[in-house]
Amino acid sequence: MNNVFMARQKIFSKMGTVHAHELLFRDHAHGIKEFPSNIKATSHVIINSLTNISAVELLGKDGIGFVNIDETILTSDILDVLDKEKFVLELLETIELNDKVIKKIKQYHARGFKIAIDDFDCSGKMIKKFLPLFKYIYMIKIDVLDSEPQNLVNVVEKLKKTGIKLLAEKIETKEEYNKYIKMGFDFFQGYYLHKPEVLEINRYKESTQIVILQLIKIIRQDGQTSAIEAYIKQQPDLSYKLLKFLNNQTIVSVKIESITQIITLLGRDKLLRWLMVYIYSEISNNPASELILKMATKRAERMEADALPADKDKAYLAGMFSLLDAIFETDIKDLMKYINLDKDITSLVIEKKGKFASSFLKAEKSERDYLKKLIIDNFDKINTVDIIYALGFSGVEIDKSKL
């Protein structure tokens, strides 16, 4: 299956402009055949938001996405992959507010995430449940259909004094819309304004590779270990193979109980290098991936050897990245948009310029000299059609009259 699905519903400001989108689980073009657990649904939304469609395409240039959260999701650390400037954590009204969950809410608030409450019905029971969290809440989405009219009026009047933004959701008529504007709501959502639109996303053929590239970006930017762990968890076999790699590298005298422990034992530099090998050898469909991996590794080692001590790590990564287009079989510029790495690495990979260009060109010349000799020595064994393909791919014009 090449396509995946999700839905988004617009959230409007009182000025009538689009403020944000709520992102919703869908498993086919017409809605939901079978709703999974909340964590699977939210994971589906997150992975598609981060890997299979660009943020600009999904949310607009400065758009915001609301993602539904329950206690399992909140305590799983998968939210650490989200950009706090782009996503709002929307607490489901059914969330279990135990001590661990409340602690997590406070932590995400302290880290700068905006937090909303979904389907608030203005009842005494719900007020009592969420009141201790109000100081951490950015927005309360009030279910205007499920709220008792008098409760709604009283609660809105009191909440407006707290500074919490109020959203009227499930608006189904023009009359309701005008009513809640007059009542003082800040934002509005409902079928009258916009029905959820199902997005059929052409899944990137190597979304796994994009996840790994984004993981590399997090490590390069000294991201939190919890964020690194969350990305690793997105790939079912990655942690298993990482553990195997760790066992092959050193004698582990302690029982491994978490991915965080693996990251700590390996160290980030070694993890980075292993991930580059993983991209080339484990998740590539290119039949020449083994040879390309060896060439990339050799190129990276040559560039690392030529670099100044402070630049050796970057030089190695630049060398490894310089052959990714061959593995991904796509334009390297498109790939680098996903990860926005260090400017020295990006300059080398895209433009073949910058501080690593000299060592790159030396490594490339050495490779070309060897391959040139290999081709000449074995020219009679090479298929004519393969030569034509290679020349055509390189943009070399062939004189058809001489064939």
CB 46 within 8 Å of CB 230: no
pLDDT for 44 equals 56
Element (H, E) at 256: none
Give ∠ CA 219-79-139 in degrees, rounded to 5: 135
pLDDT for 36 equals 47
Beta pairing class for 18-25 and 3-13:
antiparallel
CB 140 within 8 Å of CB 119: no
Q: How far is CA 295 from the centre of its chain?
A: 29
Q: Please tell me the total number of residues recorded for the chain in this structure.
A: 403
Instruction: State how far the Cα of 218 lies from the Cα of 228, in Å rounded to an integer.
Output: 7
Which residues, listed in sequence order, are joined to residue 91 by a DSSP beta bridge?
Answer: 69, 117
Beta pairing class for 187-189 and 114-120:
unpaired
Low-confidence stretches of the chain (pLDDT beneath 70): 1-4, 26-56, 76-78, 80-81, 201-210, 233-241, 243-258, 280-287, 289, 327-330, 334-335, 337-341
pLDDT for 356 equals 93
Instruction: State how far the Cα of 275 lies from the Cα of 279, in Å rounded to an integer.
Output: 6
* CA 268 vs CA 254, 293, 307, 323: distances in Å: 19, 21, 20, 22
pLDDT for 131 equals 95
Nearest alpha carbon to residue 25 among 196, 168, 140, 242: 196
pLDDT for 29 equals 52
Residues 6 or more apart in contact with residue 64 via CB below 8 angstroms: 19, 20, 21, 86, 87, 88
| E-only strand ranges, 170-302 | 187-189, 197-202
Q: Letter for the amino acid at 190?
A: G
CB 8 within 8 Å of CB 197: yes
Instruction: State how far the Cα of 21 lies from the Cα of 89, in Å rounded to an integer.
Output: 12
Domains in the chain, CATH or no CATH each: 3-202 (3.20.20.450), 207-365 (no CATH)
pLDDT for 1 equals 43
SS3 200: strand
pLDDT tens readout for residues 218-266: 887 777 887 777 777 666 566 666 766 666 555 556 666 667 777 787 7
Nearest alpha carbon to residue 168 among 141, 194, 191, 197: 141
CB 151 within 8 Å of CB 142: no
Nearest alpha carbon to residue 213 among 59, 304, 82, 317: 317
